[in-house]
Structure 1
Amino acid sequence: MSESQHTQREPLALRILDGVTQGLNVAGSTLILLLMVLVGIDVAGRNLFGNPVSGVPELVTLSIVAIVFLQIPAALRQGRMTQSDAFLGWLTRAHPMVGHALATLFDLIAIAVIWVIVWTTWPIFTRAWERGEFIGALGDFTAPVWPVKLILIIGGTALILQFAARVWRRYR
């Protein structure tokens, strides 16, 4: 059965999750492209005109976290997460039920860890939103920090759902 036929047989919720995950991945890639252009303009301005673009280091700092959380759910879905699976692969081949149970345990632990990150980021996000927290220097360049906190919550939630979907797909 082809991948597209296999995907069409999945529940609508999983297809929507995969679409949202792909959208987040595209947003992360777009952000990388925009940062590359911005850094290029900054370097050119600095070297050719002696006038750098204000706020580039701050935007790069904020964007790194955003890019990770935008793209990590797609990395998990596409099986591109860095992991050492030699033992787990051997165990799954030798004892499929035990291997699947251990992989599921790892996924559940990952869900718990990411949940803690999302849960503890929520009050940080709301505080940054309410207080108008920013990065940068007044009079030169400022950028709000709440969008990155929101991206962390959205990306983390998508990652949790992708881990849960992986467990579901394992046993379907």
Structure 2
Amino acid sequence: MKNAFLTLERWSTGIAMAGACAMLAIASALGMFQILMRFVFEEPAEWTEVLIRFSLIWMVFLAIPLAFRQGAMVSVDVLYRWSPPAIRRVLDWVVCLAALALIGVLIWWGWDYAQRGGVQTMAGLESVSMFWAYLAIPVGGLFCIPGIVGNLLDPRREELETAQ
């Protein structure tokens, strides 16, 4: 069961990270296009600015699951180093439950925010609803859940071993 869940977590985190990388590539390409249009052709494309911001928001929320999986989001390194092994496992559970509570709030209110923002349109792209930008919050949160639980089941603490 543990191995099956970790396989599912690896797939979901990989999908989220691929999405984050794609959003970074889109933002970079749009930035280059914007520079080319503005300074070479002297015809600025206002819509690229909005899409760059949109893709960066999605990039951040899709990259967070990997940070949770690696144990890099909620850093309690000093307390972890000073604790005996029995307390470390309790600390792992406390961090996991706190992170899940935070992500639960983000999913709940992020979905509410996305629905409420559905009546807004993006400046520069009046045909696109802000729902799609705000949807990054609950979607990123849903991808975080397997990463948080995966970090509890199979902790990765490379930064602890390499820190001085």
Under a length normalisation based on structure 2, what TM-score does the superposition of the two structures give?
0.81
Unaligned runs of 5+ in 2: 156-164
1:146 to 131, 134, 153: 131
Which whole-Å CA distance do the structure 2 matches of 1:98 and 1:41 have between them? Answer: 53
**SS of the residue aligned with 1:52?**
coil
The residue correspondences of 1:69-84 to structure 2 (distance < 5 A) are 69-81=61-73, 83=75
TM-score (norm 1): 0.78
CA gap 1:82/1:32 in 2 versus in 1, 3 angstroms: farther
Displacement of 1:61: 2.3
Size of the aligned set, in residue pairs, is 154
More displaced stretch, 63-72 vs 78-87:
78-87
**Equivalent residue number for residue 110 of structure 1:** 99
Structure with bigger RCO (C-alpha 8 Å, 6+ apart): 2
Distance in structure 1 (CA, Å) of the matches to 2:6 and 2:76: 26
CA shift digits 1:4-46 (9 cap, x unpaired) = xxxxx84323312220111110111111011111111101111
State the alpha-carbon separation in 2 of the partners of residues 46 and 127 from structure 1: 34
- The match for 1:28 is 20
Say whether residues 1:160 and 2:145 are aligned partners. Answer: yes
**Percent of aligned positions with the same letter in both sequences?**
22
* Equivalent residue runs for 1:61-72 within 5 Å: 61-72=53-64
Q: Distance in 1 between matches of 2:74 and 2:93?
A: 17
Q: Encode CA deviations 1:73-122: one digit per residue, 9 max, x unaligned.
A: 0122234447351331232xxx1011221232122111111211111111
Distance in 2, Cα, partners of 1:112 & 1:168: 17
Structure 1: gaps spanning 5 or more residues: 1-8
Cα distance between partner residues in 1 of 2:33 and 2:14: 29
- The residue aligned with 1:38 is 30
How far off its partner does 1:168 sit? 3.0
Mapped partners of 2:101, 2:74: distance in 1: 19
